[in-house]
Amino acid sequence: MKYLFFFLFPLFAVQAQNQVEHQSQIWYGYYLSHSLTNQWYVQGEVHTRHFIDPLVHHQNAFRAHVHRTIGENWDLSAGAALFLNTPNDPQTLIRLAIPEYRPHFDVVYKHSWSKVRIDHRFRSEMRFNQETNVSRTELTDAVNFSNYRFRYRIQALFPLIKQIQGKVNTEILLNAEQENPANTLDQHRMFAGVSIPLRDNLTADIGYLHAFQQRPNLNYYDRSILSIMVYHRIP
C-alpha cells in the first residue's frame, strides 16, 4: 500500500493566483530495441504529438540510447534526443519547429511486489535549444544551454486479463540552473492504461496521461493526453 500514494496524489500544490490553461493532445510513439549481448542492448524512439482542438502539430522527437543490464534488477543507459518543438499555444500562426538537444543518463531499478512489478527510473538530462531571430521565423546557428532536468518515475505493471497487463505510473520532473529560479517544477505526469501484446516481440500501450506543466512565468498547462505507444523488440 505504500506505493499507492505515488499514483493517487500529485507531488505539488498550485497556488490560487496562478493561471491554468487546459489543453488536449494525442501522443504517438514507436520504440525499437535490439539485443547486442546478454547484458547490452540499444533502443531507438520516434515520437509525434499534436493538439486535438484545433488539430495542430506540436512536437516530433527522436531518441537513441544504449543500455547495460546488471543482474535482473538494474538497467543503466545513456543517450541523446532531438526534439523539434513548435509553440505551446496551438492558436499561434508562426509555428517554426525549433530543435532542442537532450543528452541523458538513466538508472532503472525493477523489483516485484506480489504479482506487481515495480519500476523506478531516475533520469538526468541536459537541454540545449537552437536560437532563432527576434520574430522566431528563422533559426540561427547559435545553440544555448537551457537547463538541467531531473526526473523520477515510479511505475507498476500488473496482470489484468489473459496476457493483457495494467500499467500505472507517476513522474516528477524538476528543473535546475533554469532562467527563472522559481520555476523548479517542470512537470508532474500521471498515466493509467493497458499493455497489450500483439506478438511475442510487439506490444502496444494505450492509456490516459495527465501532464501538469509549470511555465517559466509560473502559470501552468493542464494537459489531457491520449497516449499510444508501440514497443518492438528485435532479438
Rounded CA-CA distance 145/100 in Å is 10
pLDDT per position as a tens digit, 33-44:
999 999 999 999
Band (pLDDT 50/70/90 cuts) for residue 182 is confident
Q: Kindly state the helix (H) or strand (E) to which residue 131 belongs, with its residue range.
A: strand 116-132
pLDDT tens by residue, 112-125: 999 999 999 999 99
Report the pLDDT value the prediction gives residue 218, as an integer from 0 to 100.
Answer: 87
CA distance 190 to 73: 23
| CA end-to-end distance (rounded Å), the chain | 36
- What is the model's pLDDT at position 71? 94
Give all domains of the chain, ordered by start, each with its CATH number.
21-234 (2.40.160.40)
The pTM for the full model equals 0.91
